[in-house]
A and B are shown apart, each in its own frame.
Chain A
Amino acid sequence: MPAPRLDPLLWLVLVGSVGLLLPHLPVAVLPIVVAAFVWRRLHEVAGLPLPPRWLLLLLAAGSTAVVVLHFHALWGRDAGVALLVVAAGLKLLETHEVRDQVSVLLLTFFLLISVLLFDQAMPIFALVMLLFWLLVGAWMGIAQAGVSTGQSLGQRLREAGRLLLLGLPFALILFALFPRPPGALWGVQQPGGQAQTGLSEQMRPGQFDELAEDPTPAFRVRFEDSPVPPRERYWRVFVMSGFAEDDPESWVADPATGSPRLETLDDSRVAYEITLEPTASRQLPSLAAAVETPRRSRVDGNLVVQREQAVDDRLRYSMTSALDYRLEAGSLPRFRRQQYLARGGLNPLLADLAAEWRDRPPAERIERALAYFREQPFEYSRSPGRRGGADRADTFLFDTQRGYCADYADAFVRLMRAADVPARVVTGYQGGEFNGEFLVVRQSDAHAWAEVWTAADGWQRVDPTAAVAPERIDEGIARSTADDADLPATVRRDEGSFRRQMRLLAEQLDNRWNQYVLGYDGGFQQDWLGRIGLAMTHPVWGALWALAIAASLWWGLLLVLARRERRRQAGSEAEYLWTRLQEDLARLGIRRDTSESERALLKRAALALPFAADDLRRIGQLLEASRYARSTSRRQARLLTNRLANVHRRLAWRGRWPWRRA
């Protein structure tokens, strides 16, 4: 005999949840899950018998083995979710009774929640909430399975929606007030996997060309005061002074070093807050010289902000930087100096050019190099037509003269080193575009520049790209490259583009979502609670406080709704108040007998409650008039309502609190 059909809404949510989890499941698990779904469906539709228990056990063991082989663990998010999906599939094959559907319902509920462990984007959450609504509808059907309800799916969904909507205020109040303790409880961090492709610790030729086409936001910045001008918006991420062992044309990031020897001008400090998309690396973008860094991070000797852990999830942090600074001014240790003078590759032409400047002061050597870029017909291009080989810099400087920021930075640093000026490459982002109050810095804003060292000024930033294409620094990549037609509209900053406008709008929404929903943490909460004088230092007190406020506000709301409904059912305000008054009298021990008239009751009440005797008698007269008189005036009706309201107010508390009866 076929088992009862699974609730259609439950089917829908089950398939939807597994669909959302598909990208995160091992491929080997999918056939088992799909087969289980199909088998169950065939059982329901065509009466195909469900598999025997031994086969189910075999399938369960096989699936577990697949998961262990794939993830090398049974514990953790990815393995756990894969097992959950398998369990849901197999549970379908042993659901014989309506009651068993409760287990499937709970499993589906977990599946739905687990989607949020992988992705918390707004559209995904909207989908999850939609499925959650359907799941509550399915839940209603399963809970009332033993009773014939006569309810259609539409009715169930309406009821489910009403339940969710009525609960929403309570959920939102709790969301706002419930404490967010910092850190993990059992030390299991959410694994990564959301990191975007962006800057890496190695700068290879051509790497930046690809990034130029990527309009994905890398991070968003909100300045505390006025924003810094575009020419100062150099977001430092990696400092590179050495070459890759296998490729002397590639630069590699320096390891984190000790503290910087830094002098800063207080007047030049700017405070800002960055919301960084996952990068899977430990470096945090910062402006110029970071002087105040977020918790669990520090500034290393190269002015790179190093975090203790990699940024695997979206991160919001506040930082203060000094725009005017001197780093390691005066002297440079010999071994460091040698490191910053090392040349990679074979670029004899470049060496010859730099040799001409060697007898000049360091500042003039730098100026000469920049002048070379300005005076020669260099072109800023994303498709420079690079050639391989150990003399790539020579080719770029003296032959093609077409390049992207990384080519200019690379060539400039080599020139400086050949001219005996310590130099290094810095990679990060430059510029950004304001969208609302936030400066959006995209992957396409990735940039490479140079830093040269002089005894007088220490390390100072020199951007050879600015010498060739100053508009790149002022207006972004699109206005500066000759071949920008194939760039996305967002990157091109094409003001008339509808797609770009939509994208900006979506980004704004996405950012608000990130800032106020996903990024709503303990700091944010304490901040606004502090402003209204409700900040709680202890999380337990905070939780109790949140529950108390949420419960009282919600209770108040439900009370209002209940009264509104009672009023509606009573038909008129006077009838409603009369019912309430009878309840008040009953609480005071004056109950109406079944055969007692309204007037008789009120007479009895007047004798028992002398302080309200006049009002009660008058109410009796007015009630009788309203019930039996041929016609009643509006004034009389108003009088009755007022009297009823007045007496109800006076008696309501007396009935509830006995000590007030005296």
Chain B
Amino acid sequence: MQRQPLPSSLQIRPRRFALGLAVITAAMLLAAINYGNNLIFLIAFMMIALMINSAWQGWRALSAVTARVMPPEMRPAGAPGSFAIELGTPNRNLPPLVVDAGTDRVEPTSATAGNRTTLSLDLPGEPRGYLPLPEITLETPYPLGLWRISRRLSPGIGQWVYPSPEPGEQRGERHSNEASGAQPAMEGDPTRLRGYHPGDPIRHVVFRHYAKSGQLLTRHPESDEEQPDPERIDYAAFVGPREVRLSAMTERLMELERVRRPWVLLLPGKEAIRADSSTNRAGRYRAALQQLARFERPRDAQGFDHVPPGESY
């Protein structure tokens, strides 16, 4: 959740109705002068005061609104999502608001009787990456609908869009240990030693053996005996263009996660991520999806991924 109030910019522009009313007020002033009617003068001046005062009141009401954006759930490329925004005011009721998240969806506030409300805003399908949330515009017709008082908020947080999971083709048979250089399974090996895999707990590393031979080995306790070796989801093992491979890897990753089998994600130039029963599986899975989402995406100054124009998911 965003803790600080969101950076924003406020704009006040007259609506057509306000311009029309200004013309009518001018006509009233002329009539008051012509008829020497002081009461019409007074009403005309009250109209001017109302117009200016409504701009002031609207500005005041909108600038008092605080917004907090809840980060959206991770979602596959191309699938629509949603995120929540919590709107509140410190000491007063929320003014009537129209919240526009830049899409064609405009959400009116559902309940403004209190001073806090949470809205869900839709997000369109996007290409993969860590993408900025769209700018949010809060607009209020409060109090008289004469002014277009709007406030643009930059959420400053992003949305994770991982590659769309699609089945893909792999080169040859799957080899569980081949690429990692790990040793074959240790059937009947009383030492229960095997080659180190990234992600192995540090306490299992046999440093004495490393000191003697320079080779990293890990000792596997009895409980690991039934656990199968992790399946490698290797970028190099898939065929096709990059996005196809990433989609296939995502599909495989999700499949393995669904059946709770251990896996290791291998992307060129990236540290391998491994998940088995002994690790923080949910965290690893999330990290793997994030790595797949951002793979070979250049970043902008704000740390978001740059999606080349025209790229589709």
| Interface contact B96-A171, CB-CB below 8 Å | no
Partner of B46, one of A171, A189, A520: A171
The stretch that binds A, out of B105-113, B160-168, B172-180, is: B105-113
List chain A residues, Cβ under 8 A from B50.
136, 163-164, 167
B-contacting residues, A509-542, CB 8 Å:
517-518, 520-521
The stretch that binds A, out of B31-39, B122-130, B240-248, is: B31-39
B-contacting residues, A558-600, CB 8 Å:
558, 562, 565, 568-569, 594
| Interface contact B28-A113, CB-CB below 8 Å | yes
Whole-angstrom distance between the Cβ of A310 and the nearest chain B Cβ: 16
The answer for the CA separation of A175 and B47 in the assembled complex, in Å, is 12
A140 within 8 Å of B (CB atoms): yes
List chain B residues, Cβ under 8 A from A139.
144-145
Whole-angstrom distance between the Cβ of B11 and the nearest chain A Cβ: 18
The answer for the CA separation of A313 and B35 in the assembled complex, in Å, is 10
| Interface contact A175-B45, CB-CB below 8 Å | yes
Task: Report how many residues on chain A are interfacial, defined by Cβ distance under 8 Å.
Answer: 55
| Interface contact B145-A143, CB-CB below 8 Å | yes
Query: A106-B24, A147-B141 known; A181 and B33 CB under 8 Å?
Result: yes
B-contacting residues, A50-105, CB 8 Å:
102
Q: Looking across the interface, which residue of chain B has its beta carbon closest to that of A516?
A: B38
Query: A132-B43, A140-B144, A171-B49 known; A569 and B90 CB under 8 Å?
Result: yes
Whole-angstrom distance between the Cβ of B288 and the nearest chain A Cβ: 29
List chain A residues, Cβ under 8 A from B71.
none
List chain B residues, Cβ under 8 A from A333.
none
Whole-angstrom distance between the Cβ of B137 and the nearest chain A Cβ: 14
The answer for the CA separation of A128 and B64 in the assembled complex, in Å, is 34
Interface string of B39-72 (1 = CB under 8 A from A): 1111101101110111011001000100000000
Q: Looking across the interface, which residue of chain B has its beta carbon closest to that of A160?
A: B143
Residue from the set B4, B39, B113 with the largest chain A CB neighbour count within 10 Å? B39
| Interface contact B110-A117, CB-CB below 8 Å | no
B285 within 8 Å of A (CB atoms): no
Q: Looking across the interface, which residue of chain B has its beta carbon closest to that of A170?
A: B49
Residue from the set A128, A142, A149 with the largest chain B CB neighbour count within 10 Å? A149
| Interface contact B35-A117, CB-CB below 8 Å | yes
Whole-angstrom distance between the Cβ of A105 and the nearest chain B Cβ: 10
| Interface contact B141-A116, CB-CB below 8 Å | no
| Interface contact A517-B60, CB-CB below 8 Å | no
Interface string of A149-168 (1 = CB under 8 A from B): 11100000001100110111
The answer for the CA separation of A455 and B103 in the assembled complex, in Å, is 100
List chain A residues, Cβ under 8 A from B53.
163, 166-167, 170
Query: A140-B143, A150-B111 known; A167 and B49 CB under 8 Å?
Result: yes
A31 within 8 Å of B (CB atoms): no
B210 within 8 Å of A (CB atoms): no
Query: A106-B24, A113-B28, A144-B96 known; A562 and B111 CB under 8 Å?
Result: no
The answer for the CA separation of A82 and B89 in the assembled complex, in Å, is 48
B142 within 8 Å of A (CB atoms): yes
A125 within 8 Å of B (CB atoms): yes
List chain A residues, Cβ under 8 A from B35.
117, 184, 189-190
A337 within 8 Å of B (CB atoms): no
Whole-angstrom distance between the Cβ of B43 and the nearest chain A Cβ: 6
Query: A163-B143, A517-B38 known; A147 and B49 CB under 8 Å?
Result: no
| Interface contact A569-B45, CB-CB below 8 Å | no
A628 within 8 Å of B (CB atoms): no
Interface string of A292-326 (1 = CB under 8 A from B): 00000000000000000000010000000000000
B277 within 8 Å of A (CB atoms): no
| Interface contact B52-A120, CB-CB below 8 Å | no
Q: Looking across the interface, which residue of chain A has its beta carbon closest to that of B56?
A: A558
Query: A143-B143, A150-B112 known; A116 and B4 CB under 8 Å?
Result: no
B-contacting residues, A174-207, CB 8 Å:
174-175, 178, 180-181, 184-186, 188-190
A631 within 8 Å of B (CB atoms): no
A226 within 8 Å of B (CB atoms): no
| Interface contact A175-B49, CB-CB below 8 Å | no
B91 within 8 Å of A (CB atoms): yes
The answer for the CA separation of A554 and B33 in the assembled complex, in Å, is 24
Whole-angstrom distance between the Cβ of A643 and the nearest chain B Cβ: 26
| Interface contact B48-A170, CB-CB below 8 Å | yes
List chain A residues, Cβ under 8 A from B34.
184-186, 188
| Interface contact B98-A147, CB-CB below 8 Å | yes
List chain B residues, Cβ under 8 A from A164.
46, 50
A610 within 8 Å of B (CB atoms): no
| Interface contact A147-B143, CB-CB below 8 Å | no
| Interface contact B108-A146, CB-CB below 8 Å | yes
B97 within 8 Å of A (CB atoms): yes
| Interface contact A174-B48, CB-CB below 8 Å | yes
Interface string of B259-302 (1 = CB under 8 A from A): 00000000000000000000000000000000000000000000
Whole-angstrom distance between the Cβ of A138 and the nearest chain B Cβ: 11
List chain B residues, Cβ under 8 A from A268.
none
List chain A residues, Cβ under 8 A from B90.
569
Whole-angstrom distance between the Cβ of A313 and the nearest chain B Cβ: 8
List chain A residues, Cβ under 8 A from B254.
none
| Interface contact A125-B39, CB-CB below 8 Å | yes
Q: Looking across the interface, which residue of chain A has its beta carbon closest to that of B64?
A: A569
List chain A residues, Cβ under 8 A from B108.
146-148
The answer for the CA separation of A313 and B53 in the assembled complex, in Å, is 34
Residue from the set B41, B52, B90, B143 with the largest chain A CB neighbour count within 10 Å? B143
| Residues of chain A whose beta carbon lies under 8 Å from any beta carbon of chain B | 102, 106, 109, 113, 116-117, 120, 125, 128, 132, 136, 139-140, 142-144, 146-151, 159-160, 163-164, 166-168, 170-172, 174-175, 178, 180-181, 184-186, 188-190, 313, 517-518, 520-521, 554, 558, 562, 565, 568-569, 594
Q: Can you list 24 A-B contacts (CB < 8 A)?
A: A116-B40, A117-B35, A117-B37, A120-B37, A140-B143, A142-B145, A146-B108, A147-B96, A147-B109, A148-B109, A148-B110, A148-B112, A150-B111, A150-B112, A150-B113, A163-B57, A167-B49, A175-B41, A184-B34, A184-B36, A186-B34, A517-B39, A565-B60, A594-B4
> 13 additional contacts, CB 8 Å, given A139-B145, A148-B109, A170-B52?
A116-B39, A144-B141, A147-B97, A149-B112, A171-B45, A174-B49, A175-B45, A180-B36, A313-B36, A520-B38, A521-B36, A562-B60, A565-B60
